[in-house]
Structure 1
Amino acid sequence: MSNITLQIITSDNWREALELSVHEVQQKFVASVNPPVAIALAKAYIRPGGKKVEPYGVYYQKKMVGFFNLHYTPNSTDDYWIFHFFIDKKFQRNGLGLKAFQELMRQIKQNNPACNRIRLTVHPENEAGRKFYLKVGFTEDNILTFDEPTYSILL
């Protein structure tokens, strides 16, 4: 069993989430503002496109080490998107991103049984991110979303 858990961001842990960051050269790959969690939390309130937006903290041994937003249309089969996924710079390169995605896919299958596809976009200059998502099992869709290549994985 992995020591990775995913917890929704609430009034109890949002400040902890704001402490997360990436290396300066990675900032543009995650969000246009710093800290990257700030824009992601705003989207949970604003709900772009009318989608449900759930911000999650990635926890390793009870410490928040990463973050992502799940955007989706409830009961949809393929309108599930991951945005702003990152592991804090202090915890990168330890396999936590892969474990987080494995747990994410497990939870989506459990909590959203209609879902059969998850999508995300990758900044065109983010070669490490592209390789990571391919390793996780995503494939490139050969379309652009928000001017970025779109990737998907079938569950």
Structure 2
Amino acid sequence: MGVTLKPVSAENWYACTKLNVRSEQLHVFPAPVVYWIAESKYVDDFELRAVYWEDEVAGFIVFRTKPDMDGSYWIPAIMIDEKHQGKGCGRAAMEQLIACMRGMNCKRLMIGHRPENHAAACLYESLGFRKLSEEVIDGEIIRLLHMD
């Protein structure tokens, strides 16, 4: 499978803004990609990656390059376009991002998802992310991957 992560750039940012989730998923991914691109211009440690399926932009990831106060790095957003869901793009992208974070000496990787987003819950659980608690924080279940 040809999934790669590439920096969001002048060549692919517009294609990233055209990514969409299915209409029934809008409540679990309410912020459009253009929001994350704009926010990255003001948050110093946001890194953006376009997820490519072969030569086509198929998804989008935002991750932080600096740890928070407890040493955790965060993935604020990941989305796969509706045309590419179910192909394994999300898993392949997450595996590549986890490898990238290991290269940054990341020991704790955090991600959140809406409680009703069962596909995300299953994916993250299968990659080793464990719930921090049953408590929903700011509308999300928070998960942690120990990368020691």
Instruction: Specify which of 133, 144, 149 is matched with residue 141 of structure 2.
Output: 149
Instruction: Specify which of 33, 38, 57 is matched with residue 37 of structure 1.
Output: 33
CA contact (8 A) 1:77 1:116 kept: no
Determine the structure 2 residue equivalent to 1:14: 13
Instruction: Specify which of 107, 113, 116 is matched with residue 107 of structure 2.
Output: 116
Determine the structure 1 residue equivalent to 2:116: 125
Identical-residue share of aligned pairs (%) = 25
CA contact (8 A) 1:56 1:68 kept: yes
- 3-state SS, counterpart of residue 151 of structure 1: strand
- Paired residue type of 1:21: N
**Alpha-carbon displacement from aligned partner over 1:45-80 (angstroms, at most 9, x marks no partner):** 121xxx500111011212111101002426988331
Q: Is 2:131 the counterpart of 1:135?
A: no
TM norm structure 2? 0.88
Distance in 2 between the 1:102 and 1:82 partners? 13
Distance in 2 between the 1:43 and 1:79 partners? 20
TM norm structure 1? 0.85
Cα distance change on mapping 1:145 and 1:88 into 2, 3 Å: same
Q: 1:137 deviation in Å?
A: 1.5
Determine the structure 2 residue equivalent to 1:98: 91
CA contact (8 A) 1:55 1:69 kept: yes
Determine the structure 2 residue equivalent to 1:84: 77
Cα distance change on mapping 1:31 and 1:75 into 2, 3 Å: closer
CA contact (8 A) 1:119 1:152 kept: yes
**Alpha-carbon displacement from aligned partner over 1:62-117 (angstroms, at most 9, x marks no partner):** 2111101002426988331112211110010111111111111111222x12x111
CA contact (8 A) 1:77 1:117 kept: no
For structure 1, which runs of at least 5 residues remain unmatched after alignment?
Answer: none
Distance in 1 between the 2:18 and 2:36 partners? 13
- 3-state SS, counterpart of residue 144 of structure 2: strand
Distance in 1 between the 2:125 and 2:70 partners? 21
- Paired residue type of 2:144: S
Higher normalized helix content (fraction of residues):
1
